[in-house]
Amino acid sequence: MSPKVSIIIPVFNCEKYLSGCIDSVLEQTYSDIEVLIINDGSTDNSEKIINKYLNVNNKIKYFYQENSGPSEARNLGLYKASGDYIVFIDSDDTIEKDYIKSLCDKIINTNSDLACSGYTDLSRYGIVLHSDFDFGDIITVHQFIEMVCNGTGGVLWGKIFKREIIHKYNLKMDKNIFMSEDLIFVLQYVIQCKKFASIKSHLYNYNRLNNSSISSNISIKYLQNHIKVCEKIEEILKTANLDKIKIKQILTARMQSIVLALIEQQGKNIKNIGIKEAAQNVVNILSVKYVNQYKKNFKSKKLYYKLYIFFLKKGFIKTLIFYGYYSDILKDLKNTFLNKKHMSV
């Protein structure tokens, strides 16, 4: 008898993409699945769409909760799941037909605690094949942790988890963190693992065309959230006895990424809020004590970010904002060109 896989899909106002997501799950070649759809208080037509599937497929289990955020929705899914393995899928994404079977076969045949898949990145720049986990048969926990902390390695999708490990260590999403809570969960899970496996095939379709998603609306208020995330990461990595220098490098990279993203946002908003307010916002960001711990170590090999960091360290605030405003156009052109070179349909 094949092991059961619980597929957890949190839903919030995703009527545009939801049918595509559910269809891709129900078309899986692996049959022993349960699909747990958690409606996080959607106010659009998401519930109507879900009800149509409920009437025709008994693999779907539907739960509704008042809007509490994706962490609580996923936690409810974990509580209700009965499978041997857990898979998370975002409601605006889709999966290839062999996604569940490939991940399940991999984690079982290699006797691993976690298996990962490559993914297809769908954005306004085109379609790009990508993988955060490119390794052979042997990889240490510390090496895997570094991969998790890089790029999109810390997301929940593109992975299959053992429910046994999740229950044994009482792992769940932190409802007090509204961004990168998935990274914290993945790290807490990884430090309890002994063996990892990866699939080179790109079987998960990551949709970055959904402009209403949280990750596409970064603002200054997210800074304190990311500081909490960094503090949690540091705590976990120390528990895993990761080298202090590596920990500092990981935290510096994360702080640099969020700080530059927030500053870029001011450049994009300059027409709406004016240079004076944008400048004050940047000053507020750079004056945060936690940011200052890492600011002096910011660095990049890319010229685009080298200039950002130069203006930042020199305190050229208005220059920094205008650079973000004008260079954003050049950045879009560059990304479009580079992604077209690697595009695969």
Domain check: are 59 and 129 in the same one?
yes
Report pLDDT for 151: 84
Domain check: are 196 and 266 in the same one?
no
Please give the distance of CA 282 from its chain centroid, rounded to a whole number: 25
7-11, 91-95, 232-236, 276-280, range with the lowest pLDDT: 276-280
Q: What are residue 188's phi and psi, to 5 degrees?
A: -60, -35
Residue pair 42/16 in contact (Cβ under 8 Å)? The answer is no
pLDDT at 53 over 70: yes
Whole-angstrom Cα distance, residue 208 to residue 251?
25
Domain check: are 85 and 193 in the same one?
yes
Domain check: are 177 and 280 in the same one?
no
Number of domains in the chain: 2
Predicted TM-score (pTM) of the model is: 0.89
**H or E stretch covering 188:** helix 181-190
Task: From 196, 214, 232, give the residue that closes a domain.
Answer: 214
DSSP letters for 62-92: EEEE-S--HHHHHHHHHHH--SSEEEE--TT
Identify which of 3, 22, 177, 162 has the alpha carbon closest to the alpha carbon of residue 78: 162
In tens, the pLDDT along 132-177 reads 998 877 899 999 999 999 888 999 999 999 999 999 999 999 988 8
Whole-angstrom Cα distance, residue 74 to residue 51?
20
CATH number of the structural domain spanning residue 170:
3.90.550.10
Q: What are residue 333's phi and psi, to 5 degrees?
A: -65, -40
Task: Print the domain residue range for 61.
Answer: 5-214
Task: From 170, 198, 214, give the residue that closes a domain.
Answer: 214
Domain check: are 22 and 130 in the same one?
yes
Percent residues over pLDDT 70 in the chain: 92
**Which of the four pLDDT bands, split at 50, 70 and 90, describes residue 182?**
very high
Domain check: are 186 and 223 in the same one?
no
Task: From 182, 214, 246, give the residue that closes a domain.
Answer: 214
CA atoms within 13 A on the CB side of 55: 6
Q: Among positive and negative, which fits the CA dihedral 302, 333, 259, 186?
A: negative
CA atoms within 13 A on the CB side of 42: 22
Domain check: are 225 and 209 in the same one?
no
Domain check: are 162 and 178 in the same one?
yes
**Which of the four pLDDT bands, split at 50, 70 and 90, describes residue 268?**
confident
Across the strands, what pairs with 122?
A: 127, 207
Identify which of 200, 2, 166, 178 has the alpha carbon closest to the alpha carbon of residue 86: 166
Cα angle: 171, vertex 25, 194; to 5 degrees: 35
Domain check: are 225 and 182 in the same one?
no
Domain check: are 164 and 53 in the same one?
yes
In tens, the pLDDT along 184-205 reads 999 999 999 999 999 989 999 9
172 token code pair: 């769940």
Domain check: are 48 and 160 in the same one?
yes
Domain check: are 224 and 199 in the same one?
no
